[in-house]
């Protein structure tokens, strides 16, 4: 079978939003403790931050990180995580049945973010707490000095304000599993009043209201409608969360997961725009897709949380396969295709828990398969996202109906002349002979072609074999005249760079 892309430099969607290459650090499992932070590890610095993990985070090209949760934030007291470590209380975290020592908190995270050159996206607790605590946290974090809370931060060793610009108003408040779960009406009012109060302290913040924690939620749509009705002029973004996993051996549906993500984005945009029209507002609400990934969540649900309360238990340390990496690459294609409305996206999570980076206590850190499509996309998606057309055969899937076997996005940097094309072949069994007409770009030369595919779709990287799954040169790719051609193996992700 064969497939074709039509690309033209004049058809632009929007600039690449750098914050689409965001990630998420939650106090869950070993993401923080044993992930970012492990005092005594051979690579740890004076702050106990693991140098090997930091190096991989930089290599991955992560631009922004949401912190500290997740379900965790809905029971969190931020004050517990600041001040002298020996005075910090140890508490129960009911969200993950974990003992939280609070050795790592806001100031440690900000130190890590600065060293890793990452923009923070901070979440406030609107589950068990409210307006006062959110405003107090903002004062502690961002006010220069001269008030009780800002002076406390200075006393805690952070003389400069953290200048955190983007704040999430709670987490997944539509989910019955959430501590302090609320109806859309209850949450909409609370989010609006919290936003208003935070803006009285600092008008220029970027605020994210909680959207639905999944497209399959019974309240999806109605939730966004009510919440935005209350918050429309007070927030900038509405959140969306989506996780995908292989169900049995239904590879075709899994490979087409991005069809669901695409519909999710379109439906949230339609709902937000309908609210805007009703309110006669010229403002456009953007999406913060602040949790997305492949997550073997059923395994966690079936095994349940640990029966005993322990510190940093191993939770959802999924070992990602080639198939998972192809899906992650294709979800990134979808996020980029919607650059006009998706302003922020955070892969969940960053280290050990549902993560592209794995690390062992006192041991090494390594790249999982899903690290690679993320790193390559973050590095090479530059300039403007182009609105391209895909002509490809279709395939019938159990979950998403008929889908085109190819999906693609292209970015074009007019300054450097670099054109990058990302393509996924979602057919689990058949290769596709692929062609793209490059006439609109003049004489283009192929500078790099990379392929992520494998005869064993279930191969994964491990501590002993950390580079088993890695991108390799796309040997079949070539530019012939003004046409880029390549053979795309079944279940594969490719990147082509042209100049």
Span interacting with ligand AHR, options 124-132, 162-170, 220-228, 348-356, rule CB under 6 A:
348-356
Pairing of strands 22-24, 64-67: parallel
CB-nearer residue toward ligand AHR: 213 or 436: 213
348 binds ligand AHR (CB under 6 A): yes
CB-nearer residue toward ligand AHR: 300 or 470: 300
Q: Which residues contact 110 (CB under 8 A, 6 or more apart)?
A: 120, 158, 162, 164
Span interacting with ligand AHR, options 65-73, 224-232, 328-336, 480-488, rule CB under 6 A:
65-73
291 carries an active-site annotation: yes
CB-nearer residue toward ligand AHR: 26 or 108: 26
Measured over all CA atoms, what is the biggest interatomic distance in the chain, rounded to whole angstroms? 69
The 10 Å Cβ neighbour count of residue 97 is 16
User: What's the Cα-to-Cα distance from 173 to each of 32, 181, 192, 210, 240, rounded to whole Å?
Assistant: 23, 5, 14, 7, 12
Burial class of residue 40 (count of CB atoms within 10 Å of its CB; 0-12, 13-18, 19+):
exposed
Residues 240-299 that bind ligand AHR (CB under 6 A): 291
CB-nearer residue toward ligand AHR: 315 or 453: 315
The site string for ligand AHR over 184-223 (x = CB under 6 A, - otherwise) reads -----------------------------x----------
Single residue of 3, 13, 26, 376 touching ligand AHR by CB under 6 A: 26
352 binds ligand AHR (CB under 6 A): no
Single residue of 35, 68, 69, 127 touching ligand AHR by CB under 6 A: 69
What's the closest the beta carbon of residue 412 comes to ligand AHR, in angstroms?
33
Whether the Cβ atoms of residue 126 and residue 169 lie closer than 8 Å to each other:
yes
Q: Calculate the CA 468 to chain-centre distance.
A: 24
Residue in 223, 136, 135, 220 with CA at minimum distance from that of residue 186: 223
List 345's β-bridge partners, or say none. 289
What's the closest the beta carbon of residue 49 comes to ligand AHR, in angstroms?
22
CA–CA dist 238, 235 (Å, integer): 8
71 binds ligand AHR (CB under 6 A): yes
Single residue of 3, 22, 35, 70 touching ligand AHR by CB under 6 A: 70
Single residue of 52, 133, 172, 427 touching ligand AHR by CB under 6 A: 172
What's the closest the beta carbon of residue 32 comes to ligand AHR, in angstroms?
13
98 binds ligand AHR (CB under 6 A): no
CB-nearer residue toward ligand AHR: 69 or 188: 69
CA–CA dist 409, 331 (Å, integer): 11
160 carries an active-site annotation: no
What's the closest the beta carbon of residue 30 comes to ligand AHR, in angstroms?
13
Single residue of 98, 171, 226, 253 touching ligand AHR by CB under 6 A: 171
Catalytic residue among 26, 172, 206, 224: 172
Q: Which residues of 336-353 are buried (b: 16+ CB within 10 A; e: fewer)?
A: bbbbbbbbbbbbbbbbbb
The count of residues interacting with ligand AHR (CB under 6 A) is: 12
CB-nearer residue toward ligand AHR: 150 or 316: 316
125 binds ligand AHR (CB under 6 A): no
CA atoms within 13 A on the CB side of 31: 28
What's the closest the beta carbon of residue 410 comes to ligand AHR, in angstroms?
30
Q: Phi/psi zone of residue 367: left (φ > 0), alpha (ψ -120 to 50 degrees), beta?
A: beta
User: What's the Cα-to-Cα distance from 205 to each of 138, 139, 184, 241, 451, rounded to whole Å?
Assistant: 10, 13, 23, 22, 40
CA–CA dist 216, 495 (Å, integer): 32
93 binds ligand AHR (CB under 6 A): no
Place of tokens 């391209």: 388
Tokens read off for 361: 């206590």
CB-nearer residue toward ligand AHR: 28 or 134: 28
Residues in contact with ligand AHR by CB under 6 A are 26, 28, 69-71, 171-172, 213, 291, 348-349, 354
What residues act catalytically?
A: 172, 291
């Amino acid at each position: 079978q064969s497939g074709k892309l039509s690309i033209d430099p004049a058809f632009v969607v929007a600039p690449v939003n750098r914050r689409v290459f965001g990630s998420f650090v939650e106090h869950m499992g070993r993401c923080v403790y044993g992930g970012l932070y492990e005092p005594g590890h051979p690579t740890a610095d004076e702050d106990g931050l693991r140098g090997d993990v930091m190096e991989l985070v930089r290599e991955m090209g992560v631009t922004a990180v949401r912190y500290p949760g997740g379900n965790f934030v809905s029971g969190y007291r931020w004050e517990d995580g600041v001040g002298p470590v020996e005075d910090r209380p140890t508490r129960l975290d009911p969200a993950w049945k974990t003992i939280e020592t609070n050795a790592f908190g806001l100031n440690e995270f900000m130190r890590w973010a600065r060293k890793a050159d990452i923009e923070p996206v901070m979440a406030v607790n609107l589950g068990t707490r409210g307006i006062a605590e959110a405003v107090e946290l903002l004062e502690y974090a961002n006010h220069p000095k001269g008030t009780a809370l800002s002076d406390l931060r200075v006393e805690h060793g952070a003389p400069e304000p953290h200048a955190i610009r983007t704040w999430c108003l709670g987490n997944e408040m539509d989910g019955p599993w959430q501590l302090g779960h609320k109806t859309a009406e209850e949450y909409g009012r609370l989010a609006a009043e919290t936003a208003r109060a935070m803006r009285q302290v600092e008008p220029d913040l970027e605020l994210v209201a909680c959207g639905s924690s999944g497209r399959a939620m019974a309240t999806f749509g109605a939730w966004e409608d009510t919440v935005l009705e209350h918050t429309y002029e007070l927030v900038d973004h509405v959140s969306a969360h989506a996780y995908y996993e292989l169900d049995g051996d239904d590879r075709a549906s899994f490979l087409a997961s991005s069809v669901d993500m695409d519909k999710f984005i379109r439906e949230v945009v339609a709902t937000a725009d309908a609210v805007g029209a009703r309110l006669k507002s010229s403002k456009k609400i953007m999406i913060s897709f602040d949790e997305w990934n492949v997550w073997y969540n059923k395994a966690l649900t079936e095994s349940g949380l640990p029966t005993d309360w322990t510190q940093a238990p191993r939770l959802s340390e999924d070992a990602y396969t080639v198939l998972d990496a192809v899906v992650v690459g294709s979800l990134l294609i979808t996020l980029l295709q919607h650059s006009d409305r998706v302003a922020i996206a955070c892969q969940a999570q960053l280290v050990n828990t549902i993560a592209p980076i794995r690390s062992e206590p006192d041991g090494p850190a390594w790249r999982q398969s899903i690290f690679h499509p993320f790193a390559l996309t973050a590095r090479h998606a530059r300039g403007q996202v182009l609105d391209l057309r895909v002509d490809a055969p279709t395939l019938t899937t159990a979950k998403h109906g008929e889908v085109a076997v190819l999906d693609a996005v292209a970015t074009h940097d007019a300054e450097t002349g670099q054109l990058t094309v990302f393509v996924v072949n979602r057919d689990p069994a058949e290769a596709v002979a692929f062609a793209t007409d490059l006439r609109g770009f003049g004489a283009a030369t192929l500078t790099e072609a990379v392929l992520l595919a494998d005869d064993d779709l279930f191969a994964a990287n491990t501590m002993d074999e950390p580079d088993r799954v890695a991108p390799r040169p796309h040997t079949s790719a070539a530019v012939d005249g003004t046409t880029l051609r390549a053979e795309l193996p079944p279940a594969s992700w490719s990147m082509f760079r042209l100049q």
